[in-house]
Amino acid sequence: MGLFNDLGRKVEELKQEVENASDEEATHRCGACEALLYPDHDECPECGEPSVSPVETE
C-alpha cells in the first residue's frame, strides 16, 4: 500500500500547487459569486455575470 500512499500524497501536493498558482495569477474577481478570474474574461465563467472587476494586489 506504500506506493498508493506516496502517489496520493503527490497528487495532493500537485493540487495545492495548482491552487496556489491560480490565486497568484488571478487578477479579476466576480462581484456576484466571488470566483477568482483571469484578465481575459469579460464575464464570469462560473455564473455568467458581467460584474468582473480587477483584484487589488497587495
Distance of CA 53 to the CA centre of its chain: 16
Distance of CA 30 to the CA centre of its chain: 12
Question: Which one of the spans 5-13, 15-23, 43-51 is the region binding Zn ion (CB under 5 A)?
Answer: 43-51
Give CA–CA dist 31/19, Å, rounded.
20
CB of 42 to Zn ion, least distance (A): 12
Question: Which one of the spans 4-12, 18-26, 49-57 is the region binding Zn ion (CB under 5 A)?
Answer: 49-57
Q: Which residues bind Zn ion (CB under 5 A)?
A: 30, 32-33, 35, 44, 46-47, 49
